[in-house]
Structures are given as structure tokens and as C-alpha cells.
Amino acid sequence: MLKRFIGLLPLVLLSLSAQADNLDKVQQALDKKLQAAREATSNKRFYNEGGKCLDIAGNPNEAGTNVQIWDCNDAPNQKWRLDGGRLMNEAGKCLDVGGDIKRAGTNAQIFNCNDAPNQQWRLEGGRLVNAGGKCLDVGGDFNKAGTNVQIWDCNDAPNQKWHW
């Protein structure tokens, strides 16, 4: 009986070793997912193909303040985080469509966060798509600071491409 057990011991140890290796791989995968989640929820800048950042054109604490593009800097009016499908600034206001979420040309602003469709966004192929299926769009020269941001029919134009 003891000989039999001793004969099986290398197989048991080999199996335990393989399981330990597998656990290490699982732990590494979990660590990567946790890091990605941390990055997604930290305040970062969204910048466009022209190198300009999504920017609050004024007081980042005031509901109804317009959104534009501007030269990238470290000011709080350019810091955003994804939070439950919403794009929230450091002051706790959300990127908001100031009207019809399905009408091209509707202005982007910040507003008090809520669960309304006009504040729901998803990243899709480098674009920010709202609940109405429209994309966050620079309404003009995407290289020029101060250009207004709106929603528009999604396309592959550079004025709808955003980087995180």
C-alpha cells in the first residue's frame, strides 16, 4: 500500500504544480482586468485626431456649461472618467446632450448627472456613441481650439475619433 502511494506521489506533485501554474495565469489575468478597470475609472483626458482635448468651456461645476475642444492641459475641465455609461468630469457633472439625442447638431454640455439617455455614452471604434446612436462630434475644424462639440451621424471622419 505504501509503495503504491509512493508511486503515485510524483503524479500528485506534478498535478499540484500544474494547478499552481494555472492559478498564476488566472491571477495575472485578474490583475490585468483590475488595472484596466482602474484606468477606466480614473480621470483622464479625451483627445481628438487633431490633438485637442474635450474641454468644458467655463465653470466645470455649472450645469449647462458648453463643451468644446481646447489645447490639452492638466486643468480639471479636461479630466473625465467613465462611470456607469456616463462620462463624468472631476466636479461630478456629466457630459450631456442638451436636447434631442437623435438629432444631428444637438449641442454637448455638462449637466447634473442622472440616468437619462442624454447622458449615456459608449466607446465604439474610437468614437463616443450616445444612446440615440449619434456620435460626439467636433462641429467644425477639429484642429482649432474653441471649436464647439455636438452630436452627429456617426461616420469615420477624424472629428469623431477620440483617444483616452
The DSSP call for residue 4 is H
Give pLDDT, residue 29: 74
Nearest residue to 149 (alpha-carbon basis) of 50, 49, 56? 56
pLDDT at position 161 = 97
Higher-pLDDT residue of 1, 21: 21
Left, alpha or beta for 99 (phi > 0: left; psi -120 to 50: alpha)? left
Here the cell at position 155 is: 461616420
Mean pLDDT of 98-103: 97
CB atoms within 10 A of CB 77: 23
pLDDT per position as a tens digit, 111-160: 999 999 999 999 999 999 999 999 999 999 999 999 999 999 999 999 99
C-alpha cell of 108? 454637448
Question: What is the Cα–Cα distance from 143 to 150, expressed in whole angstroms?
Answer: 15
Q: pLDDT tens digits, residue range 15-30?
A: 666 676 777 787 777 6
pLDDT at 32: 64
> Confidence band (pLDDT; 50, 70, 90) for 14?
low
